[in-house]
Amino acid sequence: MAEQGFRGVFAFNATPTKDDGDAIDEVGLRKLAEFVVEQGVHGVVVFGSTGSNGSFTSGERLDAAKAAVDQVNGRAAVLSGIGSITTRETVDLAKAMEQEAGVDGLLVVPITYWPLTEGEVFEHYQRVAGAVQIPIVIYNNPWTTGVDMKPELVARLAEISNIRYIKESTSDLTRISRIRKLTNDSITVFAGWESLTLESFVAGAQGWFAGMTNIAPRECVTLFELAVEKKDLSAAQALFDRIFPLCDFMCQKSHVRCAHAALEIMGLPVGVPRRPLRELPPEDKQELRRLMKECGVLDASTQAAE
């Protein structure tokens, strides 16, 4: 799919596994990609946080991205997460994703054991961006990475030609406005915190990298259309009020575990997360099922999956 500007709802797909999480299930990966595309998402992301980025080898990620690109077949954008602990590995994987897998863009999250300086983070992104032609999405998720890219650093990174997007996941809504102002809207901000999605749209986010698409993809797309495209905030608020308990539950209990559990509940089982991650406890899975029914997404999602 030719990149004409990423915008809208990008599905952070769970990564289907088999053999107790020891291998990626390509059949399941293709089926899940097909499901979310049919529900109208604008993009499919393999190895975002909900896809257990960091749990799979570079070779596994490359093979999975190839399968996703083949399955989607131009009907939506396909992005791959390429977070790795060293710049060299990230650069190598970026090149392979562009040249061999044919993805439309890269989601780059810094993965590190050591605290990084701002200069080190900048050079990391600079080297990755310089190695490819396709767009780079900054993934700012200090809750999981320990690296917080402040708006001033984002503005510096936005001066690099193919760094055009950011998934802002600090839960600080002022970040969206500050990034937009500092970059003169040269970088597109995507919502990155499920329970603040509507507020993020109001603040100027032009899309949503959504783990919730594993539970309610059609509702996610409709929320974007109402809030961003139609500017119908009353209708958007009503919809968000309905699905908010699920968004909040996912934030509290882990996107990865909730996505795997929800897909099993919906009749689209994707196996278990790779160890050391495991499934939701039975009591949490029961509560998730209750919320899915209460929010009115279980029956609709189950029917769509059939």
Which candidate, 70, 10, 82, places its Cα nearest to that of 45?
10
Share of the chain above pLDDT 70, in %: 96
Instruction: Compute φ and ψ for 79, nearest 5 degrees.
Output: -120, 155
Fold of 8-305: TIM Barrel (3.20.20)
State mean pLDDT over 130-155. 95
Please tell me the distance from the alpha carbon of residue 34 to that of residue 31, in angstroms, as a whole number. Answer: 5
- The predicted model scores a pTM of 0.95
Task: Give the pLDDT score at 2.
Answer: 42
> 269: closest CA among 13, 11, 34, 17?
17
Strand 8-12 and strand 17-18: the pairing is: unpaired
Residues annotated as part of the active site:
139, 167
The tokens for 80 are 């791959």
46: tokens are: 């393999």
176 pLDDT more than 90: yes
C-alpha dihedral sign at 125, 128, 131, 132: negative
CB contact at 8 A, 165 and 183: no
> Cβ contacts of residue 97 below 8 Å, gap of 6+?
61, 62, 65, 80, 82, 103, 106, 132
Taking the domains of the chain in order of start, what are their residue ranges? 8-305
Across the range 94-112, mean pLDDT stands at 97
pLDDT of residue 306: 47
Determine the Cα–Cα distance for residues 183 and 185; give it in Å rounded to an integer: 5
Mean pLDDT value across residues 71-91 = 96
Instruction: Read off the pLDDT of residues 13-55 as tens digits, 9 standing for 90 and up.
Output: 999 999 999 999 999 999 999 999 999 999 999 999 999 988 9
Q: Give how far Cα 192 sits from Cα of 176, 268, 272, 301, Å.
A: 11, 24, 24, 22
The pLDDT value given to residue 1: 45
